[in-house]
Homo-oligomer: A and B are copies of this chain.
């Protein structure tokens, strides 16, 4: 298409602020927008064609009126939802980016976006790996896993590691990093298929389906008779209560996410905090946004592992922007197997 041409721009628009579980109807697809494929005169942003978009649990927090997290702004009704994605620069008003560059970062859920906050865009240097990886293992989930495991959890060879939501975009990577360090690793997930994936594909020492356990404390005791050194927390609520009771002295809990709590009007109370004292446990909340300066160091760890086949990364790929509402909502029922991505364009 010709430069500067006005084209249709399909979008995933946000309906309105929600409480509770998100529904597909909280978003809608619009084909009414058009966009000129050239930046307005004087813009120092970039115009991109979105290639792959990422569905992540934190997006639920942007669908309520007040984003308690304060990490990003909340969505605006009848505007496109936003999230992480991989895109190609079509036009740039910023000397850091050239037409044709591939980038990853925050973008809109639409075919084309104008991104003005370019400081959170990263140029993609290595294209011998799937581009979609830059929404996962080589993007924010990868930073989350590396920061949360290597920096927050201070792991040592031989330690025991428990990962919840272990087949998700972050969990599957944490488990594999822990195995590569020589830890004993058990994961929890919500289906037999995911449990099989953890054991057979990702090489976890063991795994269990939390939906089939009446007593999570007893389940963890079964898998960790000597206790847990590191709990990589992705779910919160009852699992956290059970994990604390199974922690060893001087254990570390890396708080990465609490997906079980995001849709509740009031979060569940966690009762077993006293053992944090007796057991001298450190529970540390963290955000990958604080570790962006370590990105290239983390890439130096991950890229060789990927190329040598020492780490695999499973994605749940939906084709087409139209699949976004179902894919995003599906995160909260655990429908996805692996990291949920949306392929917008394969060009």
Contacts and interface: CB of A to CB of B under 8 A. Distances in A.
Contact of A285 (B71, B257, B261, B281): B281
Nearest to A250: B290
Interface residues of A, number: 34
Given A268-B269, A283-B284, A68 B255 contact: no
Nearest to A277: B285
Contacts of A240: 273
A267 B274 contact: yes
A268 B272 CA distance: 9
B70 A273 contact: no
Nearest to A258: B274
A278 B236 contact: no
A258 B271 CA distance: 12
Nearest to A289: B280
Contact of A273 (B71, B258, B277, B286): B258
Nearest to A278: B69
A287 B283 contact: no
A280 B287 contact: yes
Interface in A247-294: 255-258, 261, 266-287, 290
Contact of A278 (B70, B269, B276): B70
Given A71-B278, A280-B287, 5 more contacts: A68-B278, A258-B273, A276-B283, A277-B286, A278-B285
Interface of A: 68-71, 236, 240, 255-258, 261, 266-287, 290
